[in-house]
Structure formats: structure tokens, C-alpha cells
Amino acid sequence: MALRKIVTLPDPILHRKARKVTGFDPDLQTLLDDMLETMRDAPGVGLAAPQVNVPLRAIVVEYGENDDEGQEVPPKLFIVVNPEITRFSKEMETGTEGCLSIPGYVGDVERSLSITVKGQNRHGQPLKIKANGWLARIFQHEVDHLDGVLFPDRAERVWRLDEQGAPEAEMAGD
Ligand code: NI
């Protein structure tokens, strides 16, 4: 495994549609392992292949949500090749998102509260994931990356973080 460089704006790959994965070969296995290592190192809760400069439809997500008592649940890892969101709940929720490819900025984005993702695992076998809340948001954000869509494209407002992480100045969506 190796760390890969995370591409940031204004790199044009971030606005391109990624290609479907057709070969579940050793190169893909290396890519997925490297994406996982790079996401954990950043650290982040999700990463899409175009963010490491590979225009393929693959994402990694690792997230542990607190349970009802506020206890931290161990993070769960998802590796999804050719992900497709097949169901979006009508119920929406606004939340504040950031992106490893847009350091220093966050934005308020309205997303579906629950979704179903279909795709393939790293060996090409079909998988289906139902996600709610923040996990659903992460999947929507990562699948957007595969279509060249970034959170500012969907945000109601975007602003810059100062060094303390507090809102500093508002910026128009790019
Ligand atoms: Ni992102």
C-alpha cells in the first residue's frame, strides 16, 4: 500500500465524469488499498478515485456513527466499485460538509436522509447498502465526485474556515 497525493481544486479531473470499472485486476486492488490508506492518513471519512487522479468509478467510505446514547461505534468500512444510488428518500436534511479536495472550505448542503447504494465489491460481486443520516450523506458526496460534482455545486452557502475552524468569510459556490 502507498499513500497517493490528493488532487485539489482547480484540477480539472475533479469536474470530469469518471469511467466505469470493468477489470477487477491487481491494479484495481492496489488502487483501492491506496485509497483506503490515503483516506485514513488525511484523515477523512470518504474518498473517490478521481481525488487521487484516477478517473474510475470507485469509492471508499469509513465511518462510525455515535449510537443513541452517544457511545462511539467502531467505524465501518465500505469499498464500492461502480456505485449507483438507486433510492433517495424524499426526506432531506441540511448538513455542513467539507472535502479533502477543497481544503479550508465547508458548505451547507441539503441531501436525502436515507439512500440505497448498489454496486460491486472489490472482486466484482454485487453489493447493496442501505444508509441513513451522516453515512447517507457521505455516500451522496462520494458518488457525486464520480460525476464531477463537488459540494459547492450543491451548497446553499460555502464559507472559508480560519485556522481555528471558525467561519471567516462567505464565498459564492464555485
Ligand atoms: Ni469530497
pTM, two decimals, is 0.91
How far is the centre of ligand 1, averaged over its atoms, from the C-alpha of 140 (Å)? 10
Per-residue pLDDT band at 173 (split at 50, 70, 90): very low
Torsion of CA 158, 152, 4, 16, to 10 degrees: -160
Q: What is the 3-state secondary structure (H, E, C) of the chain?
A: CCCCCCCCCCCHHHHCCCECCCCCCHHHHHHHHHHHHHHHHCCCCEEEHHHHCCCECEEEEEECCECCCCCECCCEEEEEEEEEEEEECCCEEEEEECCCCCCCEEEEEEEECEEEEEEECCCCCEEEEEEEHHHHHHHHHHHHHHCCCCHHHHEEEEEEECCCCCEEEEECCC
Question: How much of the chain, in percent, has pLDDT values that exceed 90?
Answer: 86
Selecting among 91, 97, 110, 142, the annotated active-site residue is 142
How far is the centre of ligand 1, averaged over its atoms, from the C-alpha of 142 (Å)? 6
How far is the centre of ligand 1, averaged over its atoms, from the C-alpha of 141 (Å)? 6
Cell numbers for 108: 451547507
CA–CA gap between residue 27 and residue 33 (Å, rounded): 10
How far is the centre of ligand 1, averaged over its atoms, from the C-alpha of 92 (Å)? 19
Q: According to the model, what pLDDT value does residue 174 have?
A: 46
pLDDT in tens, 106-129: 999 999 999 999 999 999 999 999
User: Annotated catalytic, 142?
Assistant: yes
- Ion ligand 1 neighbours (CB, 5 A) are 99
Cell numbers for 1: 500500500
